[in-house]
């Protein structure tokens, strides 16, 4: 099955399924992905109650302002995962499942088999449930290649920094340098296996004057390291996160100009490389420009207007 490359998860916001108030509030949010949580935010004694509340909540018509409705189930070894999946797979309004603490391919094999059992996957017109795997341990980092190949429904990886730090006895610092190896490994594996989503660590600072500043710095750092989204733990983090992980107006204009000039250089002059504003433009630059424009379109950027404005662009 081909990967769904039109996935857009600039912000993935966790919402506790144990809170009716937070569930209802989430319907008013404008966010790429809401992950209704059955794992960390729900105590063991409240798991069944939270499942039932979430199933009832997800039976309502879906809000247009939420692009993707996801559910974070409990980890496969926890003993709760099958009950979680049985409950949520009955709802047509669930688009994806976040699988936490994925240590090996077998975790995703289990989830995939349950999806096959409870959902009709023979309908070629139906959108299959997507899987997002949360990478939280040294074992998972060492087994990334097998994890990425474990399910045709896998469309993204999440880096869970706090659990990873606990597993390796690391101390989280503002520089995040202690996570460089793990973050690079996750991004590299995602690209190598054509997974459209690479979702960065949670920013734990969201209150006070410094909260938005630290969040923005972390988002920019994530972009520089190849991530295309970030986990959020509070609705106040969503706007900044989605802004930073969207192409800027300048990036879109430059990319459109590159593509218009590239088409003319290729079709009229038979050139695969050319110059624009004194800069050499070749195949890798053109490919990146296509990616920027494609993402801008997913972000509802008015790309057609930019193309019309720069239709006269010529290669130098």
Which of 188, 197, 192 has its CA nearest to residue 157?
197
Using the 8-state DSSP alphabet, how is residue 96 labeled? E
- What is the C-alpha separation between 259 and 33, in angstroms, rounded? 30
pTM for the model: 0.91
pLDDT of 178 reads 97
- Residue ranges of the chain whose pLDDT lies below 50: 1-2, 124-125
Mark the binding-site residues for substrate, compressed into ranges. Answer: 72, 136
For residue 1, what pLDDT is reported?
47
Q: What is the pLDDT of residue 125?
A: 47
Q: Which residue(s) pair with 36 in the sheet? A: 15, 71
Beta bridge partners of 229: 199
Q: Residues marked as binding?
A: 72, 136, 163
Distance of alpha carbon 48 from alpha carbon 55, whole angstroms = 11
Torsion of CA 113, 115, 116, 120, to 10 degrees: 180
Is 282 known to be catalytic?
yes
Strand 274-276 and strand 229-232: the pairing is unpaired
Which position among 263, 282, 302, 304 bears the catalytic label?
Answer: 282
Average pLDDT, the chain: 92
Q: Which residue has the tokens 């990319």?
A: 255
pLDDT tens-digit map of 64-89: 999 999 999 999 999 999 999 999 99
**In terms of C-beta density within 10 A (0-12 exposed, 13-18 middle, 19 or more buried), how is residue 28 classed?**
exposed
pLDDT of residue 121: 56
- Say if residues 148 and 154 touch (Cβ distance below 8 Å): yes
Alpha-carbon gap, residue 49 to 26, rounded angstroms: 19
Q: Which two tokens stand for residue 279?
A: 């800069």
Binding residues for Mg(2+): 136, 163
**Rounded Cα–Cα distance for residues 266 and 161 (Å):** 45
Going by C-alpha positions, the residue among 263, 265, 108 that lies closest to residue 193 is 108
Q: What is the spatial distance between Cα 193 and Cα 165, in angstroms, rounded to a whole number?
A: 25
Predicted local distance difference test score (pLDDT) of residue 124: 47
What is residue 175's predicted lDDT score, i.e. its pLDDT? 94
Question: CB under 8 Å to 116, separation ≥6 — which residues?
Answer: none
**Number of other CB atoms surrounding residue 159 within 10 Å:** 26
Q: What is the pLDDT of residue 4?
A: 59
CA neighbours within 13 Å on the CB side: how many for 86? Answer: 7
| pLDDT on residue 271 | 77
- Amino acid 10: pLDDT: 98
- Cα(222)–Cα(218) distance, integer angstroms: 6
């Amino acid at each position: 099955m081909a990967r769904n490359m039109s996935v857009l998860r600039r912000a993935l916001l966790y919402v506790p399924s144990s809170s009716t108030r937070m569930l209802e509030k989430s319907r008013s949010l404008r966010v790429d992905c809401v992950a209704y949580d059955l794992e960390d935010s729900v105590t063991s004694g409240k798991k069944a109650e939270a499942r039932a509340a979430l199933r009832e909540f997800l039976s309502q018509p879906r809000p247009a302002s939420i692009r993707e409705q996801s559910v974070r189930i409990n980890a496969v070894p926890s003993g709760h995962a099958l009950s979680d999946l049985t409950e949520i797979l009955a709802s047509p309004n669930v688009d994806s499942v976040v699988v936490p603490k994925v240590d090996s391919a077998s975790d995703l094999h289990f989830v995939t088999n349950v999806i096959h059992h409870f959902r009709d996957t023979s309908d070629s017109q139906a959108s299959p449930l997507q899987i997002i795997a949360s990478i939280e341990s040294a074992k998972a980092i060492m087994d990334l290649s097998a994890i990425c190949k474990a399910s045709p429904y896998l469309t993204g990886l999440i880096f869970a920094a706090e659990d990873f730090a606990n597993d390796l006895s690391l101390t989280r610092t503002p520089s995040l340098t202690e996570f460089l190896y793990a973050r690079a490994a996750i991004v590299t594996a995602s690209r190598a296996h054509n997974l459209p989503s690479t979702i960065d660590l949670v920013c734990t600072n969201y209150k006070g004057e410094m909260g938005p500043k630290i969040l923005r710095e972390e988002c920019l750092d994530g972009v520089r390291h190849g991530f295309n989204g970030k986990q959020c733990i509070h609705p106040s983090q969503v706007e900044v996160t989605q802004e930073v992980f969207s192409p800027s107006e300048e990036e879109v204009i430059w990319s459109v100009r590159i593509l218009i000039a590239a088409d003319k250089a290729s079709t009229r002059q038979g050139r695969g490389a050319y110059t624009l504003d004194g800069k050499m433009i070749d195949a890798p630059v053109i490919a990146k420009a296509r990616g920027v424009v494609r993402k801008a379109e997913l972000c509802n950027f008015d790309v057609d207007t930019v193309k019309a404005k720069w239709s006269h662009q010529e290669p130098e």
